[in-house]
């Protein structure tokens, strides 16, 4: 299975969040040597007319290898675990705004009331399940996104992978998030319970046995379906919007080709594309996020019951702080993920280009 997956990766038209289908005609004398990241391709796969994802000079791993996917998962752990933990105070106030708008009337008021009741340390409530849960989610989200993108792009072929790349990004990210949420659900339930139920528990060690005693194992997974409803649209937007925004920034905004940008400049573009994607992520996933927050507070309620109780306007409570939080989070996650790739010397091809075979069919000359 792993051998076929690696072969699929090496034949894939899309190779990372910064993917490329660098297409050049092969010549019999062209040596099968890897090209440097960002350089024009210097090798072709035996069966495909585009650059192979072999280990470039200076790269620490080969694209599509087990080593590569493990490092992608590590990047996801670092990017998601750290960023979500950093914004725990804002997340705490956002959750309280959603479940008790009568008491917490605004973001500023929410911070004021929380500080008055619990002090500064109270703003860190739920940091442990946040760090653990979102680290596990990041492992699956980023690692499996790379895996599914390789599998799906190989399944539909090089030309279709370019033409329908937005659909490819959406399908790969949705598939990855399905499994990522299964890993996240128990810690998310514990986090919301700690943050929104006064007097229930102050720490994760205290919350876990109480939740198990009261509702059994179902306490940790009763929010899984609304979590899918929140996170899958969020992640689809996060990856697809980021990928396409990155393309547009390099095509219309950045005044020089990506290959001429320093790694620091590339990371700035990554951050900008991530923030733009984050704003859209927050909007499309917010109603489900409100349901998740209220559901984990209300014992025995279903997602539909909570949605009816909240009403249409109630589903959008706490949107502005979530836009700030998710925009910053998404930008920071992509920045950190890309920085990890730079630090670990992983393959980072540029945005996709039209395959030569498709250019010939369409009668197009020159770069597109």
CB crowding 133-172: b at 16 or more within 10 Å, else e: bbbbbbbbbbbbbbbbbbbbbbebebebbbeebeebbbbb
- Separation of alpha carbons 156 and 21, rounded Å: 14
Give pLDDT, residue 298. 64
Same domain, 244 and 331: yes
Give pLDDT, residue 42. 36
Position 6 in a domain = no
Give pLDDT, residue 281. 86
Total number of domains constituting the chain: 2
Give pLDDT, residue 346. 93
Same domain, 247 and 129: no
Same domain, 189 and 251: no
Give pLDDT, residue 128. 94
pLDDT tens, N- to C-terminus, the chain (368 residues): 445 544 545 555 444 443 333 333 334 433 333 333 344 333 333 333 333 344 556 788 888 888 999 999 999 999 999 999 998 998 888 888 878 888 988 888 999 999 999 999 989 999 999 999 999 999 999 999 999 999 999 999 989 999 999 999 999 999 999 999 999 999 999 998 898 888 888 899 999 999 999 989 888 998 899 889 888 988 999 999 999 999 999 999 999 988 899 999 999 999 999 999 999 888 888 888 788 777 766 666 777 877 888 888 788 887 888 888 788 889 999 999 999 999 999 998 778 888 888 888 888 776 55
- Separation of alpha carbons 368 and 351, rounded Å: 11
Give pLDDT, residue 7. 54
Position 117 in a domain = yes
* Tokens standing for residue 61: 């791993």
Same domain, 76 and 202: yes
Position 23 in a domain = no
Position 315 in a domain = yes
CATH code where residue 144 lies: 1.50.40.10
Q: Per residue, what are the HEC states of 89-100?
A: HHHHHHHHHHHC
pTM metric for this prediction = 0.75
Give pLDDT, residue 32. 33
Full residue range of the structural domain in which residue 274 is found: 233-345
Position 250 in a domain = yes
Name the residue among 274, 195, 188 with its Cα closest to residue 237.
274
Same domain, 126 and 174: yes
- Separation of alpha carbons 40 and 51, rounded Å: 9
Position 226 in a domain = no
Name the residue among 238, 257, 237 with its Cα closest to residue 247.
257
- Separation of alpha carbons 95 and 115, rounded Å: 15
């Amino acid at each position: 299975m792993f051998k076929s997956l690696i072969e699929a990766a090496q034949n894939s038209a899309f190779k990372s969040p910064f993917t490329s289908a660098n297409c050049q005609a092969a010549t019999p004398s062209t040596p099968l040597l890897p090209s440097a990241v960002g350089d024009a391709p210097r090798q072709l796969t035996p069966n495909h007319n585009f650059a192979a994802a072999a280990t470039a000079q200076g790269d620490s791993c080969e694209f599509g290898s087990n080593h590569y996917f493990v490092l992608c998962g590590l990047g996801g752990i670092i990017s998601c675990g750290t960023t979500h933990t950093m914004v725990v105070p804002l997340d705490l106030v956002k959750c309280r705004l959603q479940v008790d708008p009568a008491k917490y009337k605004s973001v500023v008021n929410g911070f004021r009331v929380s500080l008055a009741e619990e002090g500064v340390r109270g703003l860190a409530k739920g940091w442990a399940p946040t760090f653990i849960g979102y680290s596990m989610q990041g492992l699956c989200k980023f690692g499996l996104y790379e895996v599914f993108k390789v599998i799906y792009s190989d399944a539909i072929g090089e030309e279709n992978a370019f033409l329908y790349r937005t659909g490819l990004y959406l399908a790969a990210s949705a598939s990855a998030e399905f499994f990522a949420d299964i890993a996240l659900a128990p810690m998310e339930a514990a986090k919301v319970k700690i943050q929104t139920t006064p007097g229930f528990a102050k720490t994760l060690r205290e919350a876990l046995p109480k939740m198990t005693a009261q509702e059994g194992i179902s306490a940790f997974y009763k929010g899984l379906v609304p979590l899918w409803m929140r996170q899958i649209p969020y992640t689809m937007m996060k990856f697809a919007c980021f990928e396409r925004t990155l393309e547009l920034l390099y095509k219309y905004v950045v005044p020089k080709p990506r290959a001429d940008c320093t790694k620091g400049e590339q990371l700035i573009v990554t951050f900008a594309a991530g923030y733009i994607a984050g704003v859209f992520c927050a909007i499309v996933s917010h109603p489900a996020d409100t349901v998740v927050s209220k559901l984990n507070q209300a014992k025995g309620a279903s997602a539909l019951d909570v949605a009816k109780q909240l009403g249409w306007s109630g589903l959008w409570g706490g949107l502005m702080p979530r836009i700030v939080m998710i925009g910053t989070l998404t930008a920071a996650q992509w920045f950190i993920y890309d920085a990890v790739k730079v630090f670990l010397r992983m393959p980072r091809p540029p945005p996709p280009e039209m395959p030569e075979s498709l250019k010939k069919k369409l009668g197009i000359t020159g770069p597109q």
